[in-house]
Amino acid sequence: MINKKTGLGREIIKDLPTIFSICKVDDKIYLGTKTGVYLYTKNKLSYLGDRLPLLKSRIDDIVFANNQLFIATKGNGVLVYNESSSLASYTEREGLASNMAKFLSTDKHGNIWVGTNRGISRLKKTSNNYYKVNTINLSEGLVSSEINQLLIHDSILFFATNKGLGQINIKQAFNEGVI
């Protein structure tokens, strides 16, 4: 609630580690912090890392798509969490560019785009909530492998790096007619 006299908001949660991301799903707010994922709902805070140890790592971004939370971690790749408390993990082993995921974005086709410190990965939904991972990096024409943010517009993927802004045609980069 904002104080109308001062214009300032009030603090609702104290003594949390640094918060890097916030994602609202219905009446729940998920907080990605330096020490993992917290859930704030009905004026109560809980730490999801107590039940699921993978959710204890640094969280840089959280997005909600395809009825699941996608969580970008520092060191554990991308975690996919649903409310039944199941957790899937996409790492370098599954083809992710790096386990150091920095930024997540979605497109109109239900794909999840991941900016990492070593390129861009796409999690393309196949069947049964499984995702196929495709990656592009310097050898495919990125201007820098350190990806800070992504934007998808039609079939063009824009990416922000420490060296500037780049773009690629998704259909051409992945040799496919439909993204």
**Both structure tokens of 118:** 């070593």
3-class SS letters over 20-68 = EEEEEECCEEEEEECCEEEEEECCEEEEHHHCCHHHHCCEEEEEEECCE
What is the DSSP-derived secondary structure letter of residue 13? S
Q: pLDDT digits over 51-81, tens only?
A: 899 999 999 999 999 899 999 999 999 999 9
- The pTM of this model reads 0.89
**Both structure tokens of 85:** 């408390």
| Confidence at residue 20, expressed as pLDDT on a 0 to 100 scale | 96
| Confidence at residue 177, expressed as pLDDT on a 0 to 100 scale | 53
| Confidence at residue 85, expressed as pLDDT on a 0 to 100 scale | 67
3-state helix, strand, coil in the chain (%, to 5): 10, 50, 40
| Confidence at residue 69, expressed as pLDDT on a 0 to 100 scale | 95
| Confidence at residue 139, expressed as pLDDT on a 0 to 100 scale | 80
Of residues 77, 43, 46, 48, the one with CA closest to residue 60: 77
| Confidence at residue 127, expressed as pLDDT on a 0 to 100 scale | 74
| Confidence at residue 176, expressed as pLDDT on a 0 to 100 scale | 66
| Confidence at residue 65, expressed as pLDDT on a 0 to 100 scale | 93
| Confidence at residue 9, expressed as pLDDT on a 0 to 100 scale | 76
Regions of the chain short of the pLDDT cut 50: 178-179
| Confidence at residue 1, expressed as pLDDT on a 0 to 100 scale | 58
